[in-house]
Chain A
Amino acid sequence: MEIKEKESVVVRFSGDSGDGMQLAGNIFSTVSATVGNSISTFPDYPADIRAPQGSLTGVSGFQVHIGAEQVYTPGDLCDVLVAMNAAALKTQYRYAKPDAAIIIDTDSFGPKDLEKAQFQTEDYLGEMGIDADRVIACPLTSMVKDCLADSAMDAKSVSKCRNMFALGLVCWLFDRDLDVAFNFLREKFAKKPEIAEANIKVIQAGYDYGHNTHSSVANVYRIETKNKVPGRYMDITGNKATAYGFIAAAEKAGLKLYLGSYPITPATDVLHELSKHKSLGVITVQCEDEIAGCASAVGASFAGALAVTSTSGPGICLKSEAMNLAVIMELPLVVLDVQRGGPATGLPTKSEQTDLLQALFGRNGESPMPVVAAASPTDCFEMAYAASKMALEHMTPVILMTDAYVANGSAAFKLPNLNEYPAINPPYVPEDLKGSWTPYMRNQEGVRYWAVPGREGFEHILGGLEKDDKTGAISTNPENHDLMTRKRQAKIAAIPVPDLEVLGDKDDAELLIVGFGGTYGHLHAAMDELRAQGKKVALAHFRYINPLPKNTADVLRRYPKVVVAEQNMGQLAGWLRMKVDGFVPEQYNEVKGQPFKVAELVKAFTEILNKE
């Protein structure tokens, strides 16, 4: 047996959507993170509710990238592909490197399975051009049955444990300590210990199978951990991190957290997560529609809560009217847009960055609204906190953009210490203004004071109609409307945001890569690769989009070549061109619903570098 030291390895678990690939992938990434490896994951769900078993459209995948040093993406192609049936091999092989090891369950490659997967012959490996030496072919289903023959479980429950056999096999391949996986399962199935023990037995069997049978043919990989940042860590998905950010911000501000929401892929996990935490006083209302989700949050904000509404692009379309109400009433509100493929229902489970202009401009009237975007699963926590602080301190709705990729992807999260986070101080109306206060009176930052109902002497009426700057009464006076429009605009423009950071060859880059939100990892990895080839490249990645960082124009004008790379047709590029005089960047645009491929970015950026 040869043990290969590797810097990083990508594993892709794939099978029928009922095969438990997400769970197997999750456990494997947790086990790897526990030994200090850097991890980045990408679940790839089918959009069908439950496609026919064994069919090509029903394949579900989970990709995890583990590295000795920081990994920024789940990886373009995998080193190990687990294919639980013929359809998985057929659809997922394109994500495998030419020399990838492939684990298949030969029990799921019978004539019917091959037919469903649209193989023409029984020589499925030959048809796909796969070298049989790279394949770990095992009768996985039969072995799971044998392993659990003594248990009282029915056939269906036994078959549900197949994923754990595959997991055991992968753990053997990567020389992983099984105890972490065992603990994970005992906790997950705390109420059904017999299920936990059955799964554990099957993992061990998978591990032993690898050890006994394939020790002569396969490599065992070892990923050592370098550059550890000491601390306590947990695995977290972007959606969970977002929910945690809201909880943290509400606690810091001393406010109740209210979520008004309506289920929508890929944002629903935020509703799920927050609904769990009633012991922290979190209020979640699953409303009758997206409109009510946002409208009820506006009501909760008026009543004095940190109000949040969560959705994806189609939901933003419906919420925009109530978001605009919060603009004119100048009430705090955080609107979470977990972007997916559009337009309309589009690609519900896939990732895009196509809502940026909708977030910036998708409302009637002059409707300035801060827009921020999270760069990674763990950054969702930081940006949810920042968006909440911004909304509360500047009395405005704020749009927080994530996307299906960062929302569902996970990474190791160093446990934050809330004491180290900045205070959140909403501009509550000072008591001494009683008697002279009117609803649109502003503080030095141009922010309207917040008078929460219940306070005697500050009774007031807000509303969707334009108000008089001085009295707060309804006004159609032309000068007043112009003034109020400018005051709302100035308030947003004055919100302080951190400077744009330049990474890489910041002094002498020939090419500046520019992006925003969830593409950070891929753009960073592409920059690293280009720099490893000796090229001078830098990266400026936007997390604050409105208002833009003050140094934006300086940074964009500093380098000979600039490429704005985004998963849309050029929305950030257009916004930057609007805001920075004379800025005409190169563009790299891709709208496939899939994360960027680093190799493709490197190729495209090299072409730009080589252009005269």
Chain B
Amino acid sequence: MSNYSASDFKKGQPRWCPGCGDHFFLASLHKAMAEIGVAPSQTAVISGIGCSSRLPHYMATYGMNTIHGRAAAIATGCKVANPDLTVWQVSGDGDGLAIGGNHFIHANRRNINLNMILLNNRIYGLTKGQYSPTSPRGFVSKSSPYGTVEDPFRPAELCFGARGHFFARAVATDAPGTVEILKAAYNHKGASVCEILQNCVIFNNGTHDAVYSKEGRAKNAIYLKHGEKMLFGENNEYGIVQEGFNIKAVKLGEDGYTEADVLVHDAKCEDNTLQLKLAEMEWPVALGVIRDVEAPTYDDCVWQQIEEVKAAKKYHNFAELLETNDIWTVK
């Protein structure tokens, strides 16, 4: 059992708008950290810039609220240089996927052991209401008064395209669901992307309405659990089945579908094809751990290589390094 409570990780008074999804997420993060039990002194929370990137200021851990888009790169250096630290990287959809998109994909590709939080409200809040790289095509905002003419990123697709090994999703208002994926992200060794669906009450109110309330999630979301049949609905009356090269949601008892046809979720499957299809379903919205596959982490491998080379080479300090050169003596 952990020696910590949520209050051990709390600091200061958050300045987000009342009702902002960030408040809910922050409380879940405090709770998850307490349950995980890593000391605040061994924890670093690193964010970029944006509303959600204010988060480290409300943590009683080590941390940095850095510059726009660079959180993943800064967290990479922090983790590789000091692998004993538990590093959480917090970004919004603009910070993480627009200006920081390059660092997001490369942190996933390298598989740095970071817990990467993506707070997705599909809008730029701090700059007061411009469309983001996750805003849907046609989205009307201050910088797109006639609607956007571009397609959004789908975070899971980007993560998988970058060979990511962990992807989970939760709704900010769903504390148990959020705490569960945060703990799973901590327990996964490697880059763990948690997409948090959160509402911006001021500039994009209602963007996740279908799943933002408990009732909405009962109707419109599916909680995925590794090894369990993918059933959903208020009475588990729906299920996910395979159809040709695709998957679809069906009502059991209709069109001849029975529970036996429902697929069992496999988050550990190396091949991400079906996991991607789950992540991209519009109805129901997949929540929980969608992909969780073990792979060597960059930081482990860096230090393992250092140990191997130390054992293989005969020089281990600066004076010995000098002796590896062609040296001559002038008398």
Contacts and interface: CB of A to CB of B under 8 A. Distances in A.
Interface stretch (A4-12, A97-105, A292-300, A492-500): A292-300
A463 B310 contact: no
A570 B61 CA distance: 48
A281 B76 CA distance: 18
A473 B328 contact: no
A461 B326 contact: no
Given A233-B330, A292-B70, A303 B78 contact: yes
Secondary structure type dominating chain A contacts: mixed
Interface string A161-189: 00000000000000000001001100100
Interface in A292-340: 292, 295-305, 307, 321-322, 324-325, 329
Task: Output the residue of A228, A244, A296, A462 with the most chain B CB within 10 A.
Answer: A296
Contact of B77 (A258, A457, A474): A258
Contacts of A325: 66-67, 70
Contacts of B64: 299, 302, 329, 461-463
A234 B66 contact: no
Contacts of B57: 461, 463, 473-474
Interface string A210-253: 00000000000000010011111111100000001001100100
Contacts of B67: 295, 321-322, 324-325, 464
Given A304-B82, A325-B67, A453-B82, A278 B318 contact: no
A605 interface: no
A303 B77 contact: yes
B63 interface: yes
A116 interface: no
Contacts of A303: 44, 77-79, 81-82, 85
Question: How large, as a class, is the contact surface on chain B?
Answer: 35 or more
Interface string A265-286: 0000000000001111101010
A230 B46 contact: no
A229 B330 CA distance: 7
B68 to A, nearest CB: 8
B318 A247 contact: yes
B319 A461 contact: no
Given A457-B41, A463-B66, A296 B80 contact: yes
A459 interface: yes
Interface in A407-440: 415-418
Contacts of B313: 278-279
Interface stretch (B150-158, B205-213, B301-309): B301-309
B318 A418 contact: yes
B321 interface: yes
Contacts of A462: 63-65
Nearest to B47: A463
Given A279-B312, A321-B67, A232 B56 contact: no
Nearest to B303: A283
Interface in A1-58: 30, 33-34, 36
A183 B327 CA distance: 12
A298 B73 CA distance: 9
Contact of B74 (A30, A228, A299): A299
A32 B95 CA distance: 56
A177 to B, nearest CB: 11
Interface in A449-478: 453-465, 473-474
Given A459-B62, A465-B65, A232 B315 contact: no
Interface string A566-584: 0000000000000000000
Nearest to A279: B313
A412 B143 CA distance: 61
Contacts of A34: 328
Contacts of A464: 49, 65-67
A322 B318 CA distance: 30
A234 B327 contact: yes
B73 A295 contact: yes
Nearest to B313: A279
A299 B78 contact: yes
Nearest to B311: A279
Nearest to A289: B102
A260 interface: yes
Given A300-B81, A322-B67, A459-B40, A279 B73 contact: no
A291 interface: yes
A459 B41 contact: yes
Interface string B284-317: 0000000000000000001001100110110111
A288 interface: yes
A415 B322 contact: yes
A609 interface: no
Contacts of B246: none
A184 B41 contact: no
Given A304-B81, A325-B66, A453-B85, A280 B321 contact: yes
A530 interface: no
A288 B103 contact: yes
Interface string B64-106: 1111001001111111111011000000000000000011011
B62 A460 contact: yes
A228 B66 contact: no
A459 B85 CA distance: 13
A299 B46 contact: yes
| A-B CB proximity, top 7 nearest | A299-B77, A296-B77, A463-B65, A300-B81, A299-B78, A279-B313, A303-B82
22 contacts: A34-B328, A184-B326, A228-B331, A279-B310, A281-B310, A287-B76, A287-B106, A288-B105, A292-B106, A295-B70, A295-B103, A296-B76, A299-B77, A302-B44, A302-B62, A302-B74, A321-B70, A453-B41, A453-B44, A453-B85, A459-B61, A462-B64
Given A279-B312, A418-B318, A461-B57, 9 more contacts: A230-B330, A234-B325, A278-B310, A280-B317, A295-B67, A298-B74, A298-B77, A329-B64, A454-B41
Interface of B: 12, 39-42, 44-46, 49, 56-57, 59-67, 70, 73-82, 84-85, 102-103, 105-106, 302, 305-306, 309-310, 312-313, 315-319, 321-322, 325-331
